[in-house]
Amino acid sequence: MFRAARRIGKERTDVSIQKSIQLPLFEVLEEVGGRARPSEVYERVADAIGIGEKSRQETRTCGDGQSYRVFDQQVRWARQTAVAEGLIAGDRGIWELTDSAYLKLGKIRRGAVVLIYTTGDGFALWAHAEDAASYIDDGSVQLLMTSPPYPVVNREYGRFTVEEWLRWMRHCMGIWKSLVASGGTIAVNLMDVFVQGTPMLSPYVERFTLSSIDDVGLHFAGRMMWYSPTKLGNIEWTAKRKVHPRNKLEHVLLFSKAPRPSWDITRIEMPVKSSSGRKVKRDTIRPSGMDICESAFVSGQGLPSNLIIAGGASGNDTYSRRARDVGIGRHPARFPEAIPRRIIQLATAPGDICYDPMAGSNTTGKVASELGRRFIASEPMLEYVRASSLRFSHRSDFRLKEEIGDVVGSQAQ
């Protein structure tokens, strides 16, 4: 009697462990391309749910004397439950996510591209960046502007080590180079991250820059810095231990296909004039001996700089309010409109195409459209693409496709 009760209790625990393993197991399978051998997933699932090395190595011995790792066995049970629910297919040697599992994850299958909505001046695809590219004409994009997931940071849409991230981004930059017009620009917004467990900055931004130049063959056309007065800084090293100054800067790296991209700073609208609009009286001969035109010193009318000052995206803007009203989750890591606005004005003319391959809430598309440019957006998380449609759904030229959209890729084949 006592034994039976204990067994029932134990089974309950195993079932709840299996359930808590199931989603990370799907995410890991998705990260490695949708199918994998069991031995390729155990370690990654353990990392994903934070199982320490000691628990990971714990073994038990069966009645026949064979020993097995307890954690790996739990992952196998989680897989068995998922097979029974139609979420994992394949034989014991290969585990493969089914379409139902992808829908549960809300993430598109690799290789598939689905059109979710269109407007008179743009369209949004549900797709991974690598796949969406095959539906865009080479040389048609004047500006590719994006903010990729940063390495090391855990988000519901993935996590990467620095090495994995650099490999992935080198691959993407190679694909994007073909899409961009000869005078076109690729703009990438990146945030500094720390080497895990230390207050040292990861030099991944520098490594990415060099790899884009040396391996991909792009030109390093410029760099903008985004200063965000509202940025909080790192919790561990700034707020708790107080050893690292609050980092309020992010990078926007600008690469071009040609040594002279079609940029024009006169298209950049400058911040509102100072209240007086008076000229600031200064000597036009600088200490260096250079003569600088007086108009550069007119308050609010100087030449545009490479500094963008803007707080983070508001949690109460129209997009957020509409998302709240219809009960869709907002995107957790939007950039403010000021970022794409400055770059679009610098690097494109009205009518040009701006493409954001990691579009999230499609801030880039919204600003591009407002500025009279055309937009393309792609994003692998369905929830985000749906929420981004709320930026355009009030317009008469807005067309939402079917629930999952017109399948233009292999998803439904």
Ligand X SMILES: C[S@@+](CC[C@H](N)C(=O)[O-])C[C@H]1O[C@@H](n2cnc3c(N)ncnc32)[C@H](O)[C@@H]1O
CA angle at 354 for the pair 323 and 166, rounded to the nearest 5°: 85
The two three-digit tokens of residue 74, written as one number: 């739990």
Query: What is the nearest approach in angstroms of ligand X to the Cβ of residue 308?
Result: 14
Query: What is the nearest approach in angstroms of ligand X to the Cβ of residue 53?
Result: 28
Query: What is the nearest approach in angstroms of ligand X to the Cβ of residue 389?
Result: 13
Query: What is the nearest approach in angstroms of ligand X to the Cβ of residue 381?
Result: 4
Pairing of strands 374-379, 353-356: parallel
Inter-residue contact 73 to 13 (CB < 8 Å)? no
The two three-digit tokens of residue 161, written as one number: 């080590």
The span from the CA of 333 to the CA of 173, in Å, is 21
Q: Which is nearer to ligand X, 204 or 384 (CB)?
A: 384
The two three-digit tokens of residue 271, written as one number: 């911040």
Query: What is the nearest approach in angstroms of ligand X to the Cβ of residue 191?
Result: 9
Query: What is the nearest approach in angstroms of ligand X to the Cβ of residue 78?
Result: 24
Q: Return the axis-axis angle of helices 2-31 and 38-49, rounded to nearest 10°.
A: 100
The span from the CA of 103 to the CA of 81, in Å, is 17
Measured from each CB, the residue nearest to ligand X is: 360
The span from the CA of 227 to the CA of 332, in Å, is 19
Q: Which is nearer to ligand X, 72 or 379 (CB)?
A: 379
Q: Which is nearer to ligand X, 30 or 72 (CB)?
A: 30
Burial class (CB within 10 angstroms; exposed 0-12, middle 13-18, buried 19+) of 82: buried
Beta bridge partners of 253: 188, 223
Q: Which is nearer to ligand X, 122 or 357 (CB)?
A: 357
The span from the CA of 148 to the CA of 339, in Å, is 14
Query: In 112-248, which ranges are E strands?
Result: 113-119, 122-127, 141-146, 180-190, 219-227
Burial class (CB within 10 angstroms; exposed 0-12, middle 13-18, buried 19+) of 327: exposed
Binding site for ligand X (CB under 6 A): 128-129, 147-149, 157-158, 331, 333-335, 357-358, 360-361, 363, 379-381, 384
Beta bridge partners of 114: 126, 407
The two three-digit tokens of residue 230, written as one number: 């509202």
Helix, strand or coil, per DSSP, at residue 60: strand
Query: What is the nearest approach in angstroms of ligand X to the Cβ of residue 337?
Result: 9
